[in-house]
Structure 1
Amino acid sequence: MTQFAMTIDGKVVTKTETFNVINPSTGGSAGQCPSGTVDDVNAAVAAAKTAYASWSITSDDVRKQACRDMAAVLAAHANELATLLSTEQGKPRGGLGADFELGGCQVWAGNTAELELPVEVIKDDNEGLIEVHRKPLGVVASITPWNWPLMIGIWHIAPAIRAGNTVVIKPSPYTPLSTLRMVEILNTVLPAGVLNVVTGPDDLGPVLTGHADVAKVTFTGSTETGKKVMASAAGTLKRLTLELGGNDAGILLPDVDPRQIAEGLFWSAFINSGQTCACMKRLYVHDSIYEDVCKEFAAFTANIKVGSGADTNSVLGPIQNAAQLAKVEDLISDAVDQGARIILGGKRSTEAGYIHPLTLIADAKDGMRIVDEEQFGPVLPIIRYSNVEDAIKAANASSMGLGASVWSKDIAAAKKLALRMESGSVWINGHGGLNPNAPFGGVKQSGLGTEFGTEGLKEFTSIQTLHA
């Protein structure tokens, strides 16, 4: 079996103590992960701090090339990484699965290379010169989740390094193996100490996020954990980027064609088996088309194979871990008890692992847990409405505000409604599509700060105003 190791200061660090990583497709082992300690966190931060002294003063061209080199080395090792990712995360290789994720890693790293943060001249006349410069922050702590571990890792790593910072990344203990290998590979094109990785139990996270020598924390995960990260960072007033939970609403206006939009609805809700922060979690459908939408959505969804990530016929894979599976099953059971109607799926099969069927729940209502809570799995509640004002009010009632969508043939009308949605991103006739140049982030309890593009790059800098 492959031996996995941490990378600290450019060196391979093995541990005698390890923990088992579960393959969610089988319930068996995906591999043994090194169990890091507080001393390992301290060593990684120290290495990053030392490397920062030189990396922070490298030229813009050197940092750009580093991102290009990261994209190239990820492409060279994409097959290896995608195989490992599929094994520990569960997503199949094909379609919008593991290979798609590795492609996203390459695109984001390459795109980040071309971003610019020019000096902004505020004043330049015979009275004097005022310039605004962007400066790197220092050591960045990256805490990544288990749903898109590599792509989200690159979302954190690439802009941090491009801006002149150094990084210590801690992946989720559910999916640490692919990140360990990715960081090892990336270290072949980066100076020692610029990128380090520590793995271990969840209680190592606060050690990293509260560390006195960490200048910024970037975290992707649940809202509740994000609050804990924020608290741990408060002691030294660290900069924060928090991309947290979402309970995204989609609103279908009465002029849509249910059959025509069924495929779009499917991928909006069920990409990565619904385990995506910005996928659609609630669907509001006008009464006049409600039954037709349910029928066409279920007909399309019924043809999609959910199974083992190792099965080349699988389009979608399992729920990643047992705790999340239990939550999904509990929410479905509660919805049925509250009078909701299952029109597809509902109960898992006797297959090994954490495989759960795609589930559509009709006659769901606001106030049910399946509607009010983020299910983060392959289940979607469909809520009936008669007045679009009521739908918008219900959609905006959530404490979360990551994404939202409006679906209609009348784009102008849809845009007006979309701009009333309380969410960081909003889509028309689609949901969840991300672009490396388009800013992304949540409002309300879906997070703080912005990722992607120039606005996201700025999050890894501080402003220094020069008066001359």
Structure 2
Amino acid sequence: MPDYGMMIGGARVAAAETFGVYNPSTDEEVGRAPNSSPADLNAAVGAARAAFEDWSKTPDGELRAACEAVTAKIGEHAEELAVLLTKEQGKPLGGLGSRWEIGGAQAWAGYTSNLSLAMKVLQDNNEGRVEMHRNPLGVVGSITPWNFPVMIAVWHILPALRTGNTVVVKPSPYTPLATLRLVELMNEVLPAGVVNAVASDDRLHNIGAAMSSHPDIAKIVFTGSCSTGQKVMMSAAETMKRLTLELGGNDAGIVLPDVDPKAIAEGLFWGSFINNGQTCAAMKRLYVHDDVYDQVCDALVAYARNIPVGDGLDEGSVLGPVNNRLQFDKVSRLVAEARSKGRVLLGGEPGGGLFFPPTIIADLDNADPLVAEEQFGPALPIIRYTDLEEAIAAANDSPNGLGGSVWSKDIDKAKQVARRMQCGSVWINKHGAIQPNAPFGGVKKSGLGVEFGEEGLAEYTDIQVVFS
């Protein structure tokens, strides 16, 4: 069984202890990950801090070239990374699965490579010149989740590199292998210590918590649950770390009565079930007007029942298993509670192992746990409404505010509704379609700060104003 080491100071380093990583489709061990200790973390941070001295002074063009070299490395090893990702995460190789994720990571890295934050002249007259510069922060700590481990690692690491920061990344214990390999590949084209990687099972050592309080880490970028994000924020307070927190969502979709149900069924399905519903910005609850309620339910079920679910390494699979037992049990609980109140249109019963079929349950309301809680799995509740004002209020009745969507033939009307939804991103006739040139982040408890585009790049810098 292959062992994957830490990357510290440009070298692969073995940890004193390792832990197993398992394929959620088969429960077979696919590799051993390093169970990093606090001393290992200190070594990684020390290497990043030492590398920062030169890296932060690297000319802008050389930073761009280095990021482009990282992008090329991802492309050269795309299939290797995709297969490893499928083995540890469970998502299929094809479709909107591992190959799609690695391709997206490469595209995102390439786009980020070509962003820049130029110095701005705020004033230049007989009273003096005022310049605004963007300076790198120092060592950036990246804590990534298990749902899109490679893509999100790229979202964290590339903007840090592009702005002259160095990085220590800690992946989820469920999916550390592809990220460790990714960082190993990055180190083939980057100076030693610029990107470092540690891992832990979060039982022997809680390395994530140690990172968020570490005095030599200047910023934490975290993607994950709201509860963990709150802990990161609290432990970062003493050292006044900069933070970017992309946290959980309970995204609502609102279907207006003028839609063609069959025309929107595919978009509704993938807006909800992409990555088996294990996506922060997936649609988690759907409000449908009474005039088209039954037709939308029928069209969505007709599309969903033809989606093959199976082992991610099977090229015929379109959806895979739930990634881990904890999440599987949560989905199972929420669906079981919903079955007693709503009407099961599809699925509703767990499969073998960690497989759970696409599940659609109608006739629920905001008080039902499947609607009120973020399920983060392949189960969609559908809520009937007659009054649009009540639907908007219900959609906004959540502590989360990551994404939302409006479905209508009338784009102007849909935009009016969209502007009233309390979330960071709203899509019209689609859901979750993020892109690298558009800032992405949540409101309310769904996060702090934004990622992507120039706005996301700026979050890896401090402003310095020079008066002359």
TM over 0.5: yes
Q: Distance in 1 between matches of 2:383 and 2:339?
A: 14
Q: Among 289, 295, 298, which residue is 1:286 paired with? A: 289
- Write out aligned runs for 1:121-140 (5 A): 121-140=121-140
The residue number in structure 2 matching 1:258 is 261
The Cα shift of 1:402 comes to: 0.1
Equivalents in 2 of 1:167, 1:209: separation in Å? 13
- Determine if the alignment matches structure 1 residue 342 to structure 2 residue 344: yes
1:199 alignment partner, SS class: coil
Structure 1 Cα separation of the partners of residues 18 and 219 of structure 2: 28
Task: Trace 1:57-76 onto structure 2 (pairs within 5 A).
Answer: 57-76=57-76
Partner AA of 2:13 in structure 1:
V
Residue 314 of structure 2: which of 311, 315, 331 is its match? 311
2-structure distance, mates of 1:201, 1:164: 30
Aligned to 2:430: 430
Report the secondary structure of 1:288's partner residue. Answer: coil
In 1, distance between residues paired with 2:359 and 2:45?
A: 44
**Which residue is equivalent to 2:219?**
216
Contact 1:308 1:355 in 2 (8 A): no
Report how many residues are paired: 465
2:217 counterpart SS class: coil
Identity of aligned residues (%): 58
The match for 1:178 is 178
Q: In structure 1, what is the Cα distance between the partners aligned to 2:261 and 2:339?
A: 25
Q: 2:239 aligns with which of 230, 236, 240?
A: 236
After TM superposition, where is structure 1 displaced by more than 2 Å over at least 4 residues in a row? none
Q: CA deviation at 1:3?
A: 2.0
1:319-358 superposed matches below 5 A: 319-337=322-340, 339-350=341-352, 353-358=353-358
Q: Which amino acid aligns with 2:399?
A: S
* 8 A Cα contact 1:284 1:391, kept in partner: yes
- Post-superposition shift, 1:201? 2.5
In 1, Cα distance between equivalents of 2:90 and 2:219: 31
TM-score calculated relative to the size of structure 2:
0.99
Shift of 1:16: 4.1
- The residue aligned with 2:451 is 451
The 5 Å alignment of 1:41-56 reads 41-56=41-56
Structure 1 match to 2:381: 381
CA contact (8 A) 2:2 2:30 kept: no
Q: CA deviation at 1:465?
A: 0.2
* Letter matched to residue 368 of structure 2: M
CA distance in 2: counterparts of 1:254 and 1:48, whole angstroms: 55
Offset, 1:261? 0.5
> Any residues of structure 2 matched to 1:95-174 within 5 Å, and which?
95-174=95-174
Query: How far, CA to CA, are the matches of 1:349 and 1:102 in structure 2?
Result: 28
1:407 aligns to 2:407 (yes or no): yes
Work out the CA distance in 1 between the residues paired with 2:381 and 2:439.
Answer: 28
Per-residue CA deviation, residues 356-387 of structure 1 (Å, 9 max, x unaligned), is 10000101111100000000000000000000
Equivalents in 2 of 1:108, 1:210: separation in Å?
29
Task: Give yes or no for contact 1:21–1:29 (8 Å, CA) kept in 2.
Answer: yes
> Are 2:299 and 1:296 equivalent residues in the alignment?
yes
SS at structure 2 position matched to 1:235: coil
Once residues 366 and 251 of structure 1 are traced to their aligned partners in structure 2, the CA distance between those partners, rounded to angstroms, is 14
CA deviation string 1:426-458 (max 9, x = no partner): 000000001100000000000000100000000
Q: CA RMSD in A?
A: 0.7
Q: Secondary structure at the match of 1:230?
A: helix
Unaligned 5+ runs, structure 2: none
Partner residue, 1:13: 13
* Cα displacement (A) at 1:140: 0.3
Q: Secondary structure at the match of 1:346?
A: coil
User: Following TM superposition, by how much is the alpha carbon of 1:349 offset from its aligned partner in structure 2, in angstroms?
Assistant: 2.3
1: distance between equivalents of 2:357 and 2:255? Answer: 24
SS in 2 for 1:401: coil
Q: TM-score normalized by structure 1?
A: 0.99
In structure 2, the residue corresponding to 1:66 is in which secondary structure?
helix
The Cα of 1:209 is off from its aligned counterpart by 1.2
* 2:440–2:450 contact (8 Å) kept in structure 1: yes
For residues 17 and 116 of structure 1, the distance between their equivalents in structure 2, rounded to whole angstroms, comes to: 41
Aligned-partner Cα distance in 2 for 1:276–1:156: 17
Deviation at 1:22, TM superposition (A): 1.5
Q: Which moved more, 1:10-19 or 1:169-178?
A: 10-19
